[in-house]
């Protein structure tokens, strides 16, 4: 058995038929050698969602099950109301059924603020068993469909599940070969995006948008100045913009909302961004069961923005679809997609839905409409990880479409009626999100709307600060399609065990145009918690040996 220590973890997974799809997706995110369990094959680790097979030949067995065998003397803790557990100082939520172990094995993780163990470890005659009293793949299924409630947004639950599993394997003395969710030499990926809900203030003629602007720039600004939520300088900026309105409408002065495009071009010269344009003017969309859904319609016609779109693209920015009905209708989605293809020349645009409209069938519908990726899964009233992860994933119901989760949205942070935060509070939240991206890797997606830097929002200073913070980290700035393509290449990596020497063959089957994408690397984790990265530059097949 000792000779297994030299061999990297090759995991055999035992699970039910309905769990297989989530097991497969989980191991696209925890990209390490594994296969569905085959009898008479020797694994270093067996993961089982029920009692492990008697003939398992391995060093470590990890059971994820909320219905443990009687001899472990389990107690039922939750039948689906959220509970929090804690592992090595990190708290994480469990959304499904949870069992505890008051008197079996030694505790690895406990319920928060409680002595009750939810993950226990025990040495058996042939192997070590770790039993987690929850159903990991049911947790994955939930995170990749409904997602987490906004209150838990700051906890990357899925990324924590991956980190814990990795840690349990390493503490058993087994090295791990993994493709980390970041390019070689980077801490994480940053993806800057802008939803173009508005182009010019002059697109609006005495409508809700214009009146709202006037109210917030005048009385609203005065009120916020009195409460010291904005500075004198900001107050004057708003009043000046308000006073300039007649000249702006007469065409004597530049439209201050339109100026945001040049501001972004200047700020993002080295980073690039993705701009999502609304494909049709005056269409509020169907099935939007929210107050004031008529106001969802765009006041600009994208066909009249060709020169703007050309300019953005010429500077290396990506153009995508800010969808109206694509989330519920494949026909409408196809039409919306085609319009942006025709106008932008981007043959394969991705999508983010306006107002983040989405339901459980949307991934399938968007895929049918021909979109390669979606970036709608995020919050309108929080910042963080709705799907519990910073990684690009395949959502429920999709086969080719990938989801680029959205993490930080300006209006979610600052709008009254959303979080309505002061800048200092919003900054604390953003710092926490950035710090998690740094810890777990993946891609941090930021949405800052056009017009958000201009009066009366004036959220530009905050955005610049966020951008400067990201630039100081070891980050790869990618457009949305680049980030998704990078993950597509990572997903296409496969592993093969070369039994005789305990080596692992890593095959890169590049899906996307890799020339412009940074290298994937192979990470070898040693049980002493150090790791070594080998960048994959060139060779499509690499054999790795852990010692
Ligand atoms: Zn929008």
- The phi, psi pair for 66, rounded to 5°, reads -85, 0
C-alpha distances (whole Å) from 501 to each of 48, 176, 367, 493, 544 are: 27, 16, 43, 21, 10
Ligand 1 centroid distance, CA of 276 (Å): 8
384-412: average pLDDT: 97
Ligand 1 centroid distance, CA of 298 (Å): 9
Ligand 1 centroid distance, CA of 508 (Å): 37
Each residue of 215-260: pLDDT tens digit?
A: 999 999 999 999 999 999 999 999 999 999 999 999 999 999 999 9
DSSP code of 520?
A: P
Architecture of domain 2-179+518-544: 3-Layer(aba) Sandwich (3.40)
Each residue of 19-64: pLDDT tens digit?
A: 999 999 999 999 999 999 999 888 999 999 998 888 788 999 999 9
Ligand 1 centroid distance, CA of 351 (Å): 11
Residue 501: which pLDDT band, with cuts at 50, 70 and 90? low
DSSP code of 512?
A: S
Ligand 1 centroid distance, CA of 446 (Å): 14
Ligand 1 centroid distance, CA of 188 (Å): 26
Ligand 1 centroid distance, CA of 356 (Å): 7
Domain spans of the chain, in order of start = 2-179+518-544, 188-200+257-485, 203-253
CB atoms within 10 A of CB 518: 18
Ligand 1 centroid distance, CA of 324 (Å): 9
Ligand 1 centroid distance, CA of 200 (Å): 15
Q: What is the pTM of this model?
A: 0.96
Ligand 1 centroid distance, CA of 322 (Å): 7
pLDDT computed for residue 6 by the predictor: 56
C-alpha–C-alpha distance, residues 192 and 272, integer Å: 7
Ligand 1 centroid distance, CA of 277 (Å): 9
Domain 188-200+257-485 CATH superfamily: Glycoside hydrolase/deacetylase (3.20.20.370)
- The phi, psi pair for 510, rounded to 5°, reads -65, 125
pLDDT computed for residue 547 by the predictor: 64
Ligand 1 centroid distance, CA of 196 (Å): 7
On the question of pLDDT at 67 being above 60, the answer is yes
Ligand 1 centroid distance, CA of 25 (Å): 29
Burial of 513 (0-12, 13-18, 19+ CB in 10 A): exposed
Ligand 1 centroid distance, CA of 449 (Å): 8
Ligand 1 centroid distance, CA of 408 (Å): 14
Ligand 1 centroid distance, CA of 215 (Å): 21
Ligand 1 centroid distance, CA of 270 (Å): 25
Ligand 1 centroid distance, CA of 353 (Å): 7
Ligand 1 centroid distance, CA of 126 (Å): 57
Ligand 1 centroid distance, CA of 535 (Å): 38
Partners of 99 in beta bridges: 76
Ligand 1 centroid distance, CA of 195 (Å): 5
Please, what is the average pLDDT of the chain? 94
Each residue of 199-221: pLDDT tens digit?
A: 999 999 989 999 999 999 999 99
Query: Which of 47, 35, 34, 38 has the alpha carbon at shortest distance from 8?
Result: 34
132 SS3 class: strand
Ligand 1 centroid distance, CA of 139 (Å): 30
């Amino acid at each position: 058995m000792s000779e297994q220590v030299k061999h990297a973890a090759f995991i055999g997974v035992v699970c039910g038929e309905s769990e297989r799809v989530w097991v497969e997706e989980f191991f696209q995110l925890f990209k390490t050698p594994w296969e569905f369990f085959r009898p008479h094959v020797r694994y270093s680790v067996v993961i089982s969602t029920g009692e492990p097979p008697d003939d398992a030949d391995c060093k470590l067995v990890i059971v994820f099950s909320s219905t443990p065998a009687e001899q472990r003397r389990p107690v039922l803790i939750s039948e689906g109301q959220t509970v929090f557990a804690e592992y090595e100082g990190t708290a994480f939520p469990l959304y499904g059924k949870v069992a505890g172990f008051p008197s079996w094995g030694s505790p690895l993780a406990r319920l928060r603020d409680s002595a009750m163990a939810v993950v226990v470890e025990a040495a058996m005659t042939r192997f070590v068993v770790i039993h987690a009293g929850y159903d990991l793949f049911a947790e994955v299924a939930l995170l990749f469909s409904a997602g987490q409630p906004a209150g838990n947004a700051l906890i990357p639950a899925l990324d924590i599940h991956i980190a814990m599993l990795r840690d349990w394997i390493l503490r058993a003395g087994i090295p791990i070969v993994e493709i980390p969710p970041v390019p070689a030499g980077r801490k994480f990926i940053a993806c800057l995006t802008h939803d173009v809900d508005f182009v010019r203030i002059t697109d609006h003629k005495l409508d809700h948008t214009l009146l709202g602007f006037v109210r917030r720039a005048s009385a609203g600004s005065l009120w916020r100045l009195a409460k010291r939520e904005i500075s004198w300088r900001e107050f004057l900026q708003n009043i000046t913009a308000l006073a300039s309105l007649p000249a702006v409408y007469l065409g004597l002065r530049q439209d201050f909302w339109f100026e945001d495009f040049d501001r972004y071009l200047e700020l993002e010269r080295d980073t690039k961004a993705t701009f999502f344009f609304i494909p049709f003017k005056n269409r509020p969309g169907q099935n939007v069961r929210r107050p004031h859904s008529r106001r969802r319609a765009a006041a600009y016609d994208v066909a009249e923005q060709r020169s703007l779109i050309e300019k953005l693209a010429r500077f290396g920015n990506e153009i995508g679809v800010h969808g109206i009905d694509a989330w519920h209708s494949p026909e409408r989605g196809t039409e919306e997609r085609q319009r942006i293809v025709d106008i932008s020349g981007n043959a394969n645009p991705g999508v983010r839905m306006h107002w983040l409209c989405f339901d459980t069938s949307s991934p399938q519908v968007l895929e049918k409409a021909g979109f390669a990726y979606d970036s709608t899964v995020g919050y309108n009233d929080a910042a963080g990880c709705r799907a519990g992860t910073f990684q690009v994933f395949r959502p429920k119901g999709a086969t080719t479409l990938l989801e680029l989760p959205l993490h930080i949205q300006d209006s979610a942070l600052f709008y009254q009626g959303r979080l309505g935060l002061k800048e200092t509070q919003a900054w604390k939240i953003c710092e926490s999100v950035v710090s998690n991206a740094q810890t777990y890797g993946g891609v941090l997606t930021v949405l800052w709307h056009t017009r958000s830097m201009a009066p009366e929002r004036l959220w530009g200073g905050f955005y610049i600060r966020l951008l400067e913070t990201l630039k100081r980290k070891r980050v790869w700035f990618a457009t949305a399609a680049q980030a998704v393509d990078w993950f597509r290449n990572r997903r296409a990596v496969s592993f093969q065990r070369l039994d005789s020497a305990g080596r692992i063959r890593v095959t890169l089957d590049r899906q996307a145009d890799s020339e412009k994408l940074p290298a994937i690397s192979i990470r070898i984790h040693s049980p002493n918690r150090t790791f070594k990265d080998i960048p994959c530059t060139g060779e499509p097949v690499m054999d790795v040996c852990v010692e």
